[in-house]
Amino acid sequence: MSTTPNPTPFVSLPPSPQNAVDIFAGEWASQFPAGGPANTAGAMPLFEDPRILWADRTLREFDGSGLEGKSILELGPLEGGHTFMAARLGAAGIVAVEANVRAFLRCLVAKEILGIPRASFLLGDAISFLRANERVYDVCLAMGFLYHMRDPVEVIELLARSCRQVVLWTVVYSPRLLEKHPHLAPIYGAPFAAEWGGFSHTLYPCDYGESFDDRNFRGGVEPSSCWMTSDDILAAFAHFGFGNVRFELEDHFYGKALMLVAAK
């Protein structure tokens, strides 16, 4: 059972992985993997996420290797769950960029507890990283990332410059959103036409409101973001050179979510 965070800078209990986890008690989103250290953290099974297994199988259909032996760029690792899975699936190396300071520190705790090999966590803005990046990675993991961006098509263009393949999961704009949750209408602005890199599309603004200042906020670095429809996202990937795309649409709390694997 998780202990109450110690108000002093010292821990009087015997050393244990749980002590490290409890530095961030109440903040964890992720549940640690079964069979690992018995740590009470969050509830989401991100260290055993079937979406990553689906992506690995799909990439194997593309080129026979999945994530195995590949260089990985991960955007927004949150707590390192997908990093852990990519390493377990044989990734040659993983660079994971996280802008949220406390999430970054939780990634380091998870890396220490689970011994995630061949992974480096970097603290900073992923978009600034991509704009300056000159390396080409085999695969980008962008799980729960795109719908937190102000200019999501810029992100897709930057991914086309930096990665040969992309694994992406994102919530997408759907009329079902406000049908299911009409009380959320005030945080969504009027859609507007946009253009980036020669690609015309529609953006649906979302304002985080007071949640942006919450300690457990898990969004982007800006107080608002723009969502896209699944059709526009798929068309954007095609526009920027990803000729082989597999995807699934799933029901989600916010209406619909898109799981996508794309290759050039």
- pLDDT given at position 147: 95
What is the fold of 17-172+230-263? Rossmann fold (3.40.50)
- Tokens representing 126 are 């992923």
Give residue for tokens 């992985």: 17
Q: Within its chain, how far is the Cα of 172 from the centroid?
A: 14
The pLDDT value recorded for residue 217 is 63
- The 10 Å Cβ neighbour count of residue 200 is 13
pLDDT at position 208 is: 81
What is the residue extent of each domain of the chain? 17-172+230-263
In three-state form (DSSP H/G/I as H, E/B as E, the rest C), the secondary structure along 45-94 is: CHHHCHHHHHHHHHHHHHHCCCCCCCEEEEECCCCCHHHHHHHHCCCCEE
Q: Which pLDDT belongs to residue 176?
A: 82
Residue labelled with tokens 């220490």? 112
Distances 211 to 187, 217, 222 between C-alpha atoms, Å:
11, 6, 12
- Give the mean pLDDT per block of 10 residues along the chain (264 residues): 63 93 94 84 95 98 96 98 98 97 97 97 98 98 97 98 98 87 86 97 89 63 91 98 97 92 96
- Does the pTM surpass 0.85? The reply is yes
Closest by CA position to 142, among listed 12, 20, 242:
242
